[in-house]
Amino acid sequence: MQPLIDNARTFGQRPEEFAGLAEGQSPEVLFITCSDSRVVPALITGARPGQLFELRTAGNIVPPHGAEHPSGEAATIEYAVEVLGVTDLVVCGHSHCGAVGALVRGDDLTAVPAVRDWLTTAADEPKPCDPADPTVAEAVQHHVLAQLLRLRSYPCVERRLADGRLRMHGWYYEVHTGVVREHRTDTDTFETL
């Protein structure tokens, strides 16, 4: 923790680097990814402050749209699309995902009921894969596609897709190599960017 505190103390000593950020934000991308500490969107993309609007959830799960049950995730998606006018939306899953791995393996999550309920109510069953494979690559990739499909249930997303003002991308990040793969609709495969 101490190195983080030390950096935070010196971080604000360069106000000239941050003054322009007070004028507002206009990110082009809503980047939805996992809360996993090994997945750092700005590091992966090289983005600077103000370039990515981020939504991080356990398992990069997008809950189904439902006006009767608003959520922080839904509010973030709606704000990014309607207010900020992002032009691209990325759902980025990752190798070694604990959430998807727990679903694939059928882990007993009774000790963490909030995690269990989040996974069972918010996630489609991932594609079966070898539960002994720690990367759970195929299941995570299937899960990314399921979240992209789920995003289409958000009226703001569907409207912007229909009029061509929004593009969606499915990414898979390998934490053990740093490689990023994108889903190609023409081949239905994840290929290296």
pLDDT in tens, 60-119: 999 988 867 778 999 999 999 999 999 999 999 999 999 999 988 889 999 999 999 888
* 34 annotated as ligand-binding: yes
| Number of Cβ within a 10 Å radius of residue 178 | 9
CATH topology of domain 27-192: Beta-carbonic Anhydrase; Chain A (3.40.1050)
* 94 annotated as ligand-binding: yes
pLDDT for 127: 67
| Residue extents of the structural domains in the chain | 27-192
- pTM to 2 decimal places: 0.92
* 92 annotated as ligand-binding: no
pLDDT bucket at 7, cuts 50 / 70 / 90: confident
* 36 annotated as ligand-binding: yes
